[in-house]
Amino acid sequence: MTGLLIRDLAEVATHHGGGAPLRGNALRELEVTERAYILVGDDGAIASVGSMRDLPPIGPDVAEIDGTSLSAIPGLVDCHTHPAFAGDRVHEFALRAGAATYEELLAAGGGILSTVRATRAAGAAGLAQALTRHVGWMLRAGTTTFEAKSGYGLDCETELMQLRAIRDAGGIPTWLGAHAVPPEHTDADAYVDFLVAEVLPEAAQLAVAADVFLERGAFDAKQARRYLVACRDAGLELRLHGDQFTESGAIPLAIELGARSVDHLEATGPDGVAALAASDVVGVLLPASALFLGRPMPPGQALVEAGAAVALATDFNPGSAFCESLPLVCSLAATQLRLAPEEALAACTVNAAHVLQRADRKGRLAPGYDADFVLVGAEDWRHLAYHLGAPVVHTVLRGGEVASGARA
Ligand code: NIG
Ligand code: FE
């Protein structure tokens, strides 16, 4: 490509500075430039961003997009998703609308385990096809960078198949071998032994991070520690699903092991909030999951006020959050978690990129950063969160190319 100019944007909104993660007041310090342009270089990175008044002379080969009536924000970064699954769980969704709970369905061999059966049966081609479909949904909702977890194979072959599929689909793979205990293993301890001995050596070559579901009915803190320590020793970053239903020791363990993040936190009380805020571990909030399961929301405002580094993610998966939309998650953050729109934006751009160790290239609109951005179909970028459930994403650009929406 020879460069691209987005001109006459109503506004460009981005967090400034180079630091990550953002905490406290810095979460709200958004730079908003009115009547602005973004210039992309021929390397797919941002060359400059500024006011139309300061637009440098542009060569004749540079393509242009008219940004009139649109606003621009950084491409959204989804740092917690489970899109590598086959089938769906619409049947269980209907049962939950009656009386069944998510935990009861899992205990009865449904839930995660029913998606494991479908994913094992799909084969590599079937899984790749399903993943491509899900990733397309995410892109259309404005997600330009995504992490994705395994955890629906729970055997060596299918876990590795998921990690390869995620890598091939352009995702950042997290190995979630310790998601549930599959039926062929008698107990969680024996399953952790199997994971560490049989799957970890190859999973560590494919994944960036490891994750565990530390929860009543899944893995306890002792099992989680054993799994995570082995993963850390194999060079993986650590993530935890913690405090989703019960406080079962995820925050202390995450801090002790220097985890990158602890995710969910719907059940986190004041001590957990204070401990997390005093640490380097990012609290990843997943309000779509709380909404979808009819559970209490995580203490978003308390975490921000205490000075914690927070990120927002969809948790896209077939059981607890069949939702790929970060704009909807931003609406929930504003209305349910009491985060300001600026705080929500930081949480699914800069801070989410930090969770994925990409904050040097992703999550900001600044020279040298990858030219990943979303054109919001409104003059005020805050419509992203304000216009509840609406198709607010007008155009998505990734690496300076239109990936979804209007053509240049
Ligand atoms: O983050 N809670 C554990 N894992 C996922 C749900 C996976 C599923 O239900 O398929 C979550 O909510
Ligand atoms: Fe999850």
Q: Give the pLDDT confidence of 62-95 residue by residue, as tens digits.
A: 999 999 999 999 999 999 999 999 999 999 999 8
Compute the distance between CA of residue 48 and CA of residue 5 in angstroms, rounded to an integer. 10
Angle, alpha carbons 70-71-73 (nearest 5°):
145
Residue 407 has pLDDT above 60, yes or no: no
CA of 246 to the centre of ligand 2 (A): 15
CA of 317 to the centre of ligand 1 (A): 7
CA of 80 to the centre of ligand 2 (A): 6
**Predicted pLDDT of residue 408:** 43
Compute the distance between CA of residue 134 and CA of residue 122 in angstroms, rounded to an integer. 15
- Counted residue by residue, the chain has a size of 408
Q: How confident is the model at residue 17 (pLDDT cuts 50, 70, 90)?
A: confident
Residue 223 has pLDDT above 70, yes or no: yes
Q: Is the CB of 317 under 6 A from ligand 1?
A: yes
**Predicted pLDDT of residue 1:** 62
Q: Is the CB of 92 under 6 A from ligand 1?
A: no
Greatest pairwise CA separation for the chain in angstroms: 69
Phi, psi of 70 (to 5 degrees): -115, 160
- Long-range contacts: 157-165, Cβ < 8 Å, 24+? 158/116, 158/119, 158/120, 159/199, 159/203, 160/199, 160/202, 160/203, 160/206, 161/124, 161/127, 162/84, 162/119, 162/127, 163/203, 163/206, 163/207, 164/124, 164/206, 165/84, 165/124, 165/127, 165/128, 165/131
**pLDDT average, residue stretch 115-138:** 98
**pLDDT average, residue stretch 212-226:** 97
Cα 236 versus chain centre, distance: 18
**Predicted pLDDT of residue 359:** 98
Residue 61 has pLDDT above 70, yes or no: yes
Q: Is the CB of 318 under 6 A from ligand 1?
A: yes
As a whole number, the mean pLDDT across the chain is 96
